């Protein structure tokens, strides 16, 4: 999983990751309290590189405020967490 990045002209973070084989992938965004803010991916994906853009909204469509968040990628055999800051 790559570190997220944002275009300075577009505050939506991009999260890139590579999966070595087809399988179920889950990508969640959590706040610093550990609450699931947004589920970005929960589906079977083909092997290869994928890029997901987070629009800065929670699971209810409400824009979140400037804060530090964590994103967690899970597959059947892999799990990794990274930190990101969302600036508004």
**pLDDT on residue 12:** 79
Per CATH, is 5-86 categorized as 3.30.750.24? no
Residue 69 burial (10 A CB sphere; 0-12, 13-18, 19+)? buried
**pLDDT on residue 85:** 86
3-state DSSP assignment of residue 55? coil
Q: What angle do CA 44, 16, 61 make, to 5 degrees?
A: 75
pLDDT tens-digit profile of 35-71?
999 999 999 999 999 999 999 999 999 999 999 999 9
3-state DSSP assignment of residue 28? strand
């Amino acid at each position: 999983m790559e570190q997220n990045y944002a275009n300075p002209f577009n505050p939506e973070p991009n999260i890139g990751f590579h999966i070595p084989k087809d399988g179920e992938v889950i990508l969640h965004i959590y706040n610093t309290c550990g609450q699931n803010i947004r589920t970005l991916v929960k589906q079977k994906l083909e092997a290869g590189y994928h890029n997901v853009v987070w629009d800065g909204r929670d699971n209810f469509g409400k824009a979140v405020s400037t804060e530090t968040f964590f994103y967690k990628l899970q597959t059947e055999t892999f799990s990794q967490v990274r930190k990101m800051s969302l600036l508004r």
